[in-house]
Amino acid sequence: MIASIQGKVIQKGNDFLIISVAGIGFQVFATHEVVDQAQVGDNISLFSQLIVREDSLSLYGFADYQEKVYFNLLLGVSGVGPRLAISILSTLSIDTINRSVISEQAEIFNRVVGVGRKTAQKIIIQLQGKIQVTEDEKAPVGGLKETDIEVLDALTALGYSIVEAQAAIQTIPRDTAESVEDRLLAALRYFS
């Protein structure tokens, strides 16, 4: 088992890094955030998970241990492989995953490319009871407001990631009107 990897980034791809360790280059698949933050020439340290298949050995890297734990939880869901698990972690924050599972909002997982309705429902069912949630995370994604979910949909349709859209929604002033248009305009100010 390769539990962590530390070395120099010698190449980047869309969803992987090649990390040189003692002259050996390891291809490490990672979330978009990890790949985007790494620069060629940087020294990097990642928690890792080796996935052994009949025809391949694949190494997956994570910025922190909690991300690795959630990767393994997602792998335990029928129909979720390592590439889909990384895609989910690239698209949704741990906080969003927790809130979605607790509030049973499978539609949040449907926004991840490759996750269908049945897979989203399986994720909700199989992760319940396996995740630790804080009091703040017990509120549904986007708060109790239906308008915030519509704002989230509008922002993702404009090309922002779900994580970016959620961050923008959290910055909406409390005294903003409840209309979708007003809340969307307030959320868009986050990006300017």
Residue 111, pLDDT score: 83
Question: What would the two tokens of residue 154 be?
Answer: 């509008």
Q: Which of 99, 119, 138 is the last residue of a domain?
A: 138
Average pLDDT, the chain: 86
pTM across the whole model: 0.70
Asked if 55 and 71 sit in the same domain, the reply is no
Question: What would the two tokens of residue 20 be?
Answer: 């040189």
Asked if 72 and 129 sit in the same domain, the reply is yes
Asked if 158 and 174 sit in the same domain, the reply is yes
**Whether the predicted pLDDT of 161 surpasses 50:** yes
- Where in the sequence is the domain holding 183, given as residue range(s)? 146-191
Give the mean model confidence (pLDDT) for residues 169-180: 80
Give the mean model confidence (pLDDT) for residues 10-26: 95
**Whether the predicted pLDDT of 67 surpasses 80:** yes
Counting residues of the chain whose pLDDT is more than 90, the rounded percentage is 46
d(CA 3, CA 55): 21
Give the mean model confidence (pLDDT) for residues 85-114: 88
Residue 144, pLDDT score: 38
Residue 132, pLDDT score: 67
Pure H helices in 40-190: 65-75, 82-91, 94-102, 106-110, 117-127, 146-157, 162-170, 180-188
**Whether the predicted pLDDT of 143 surpasses 50:** no
Residue scoring higher pLDDT (170 or 31): 31
Q: Domain total for the chain?
A: 3
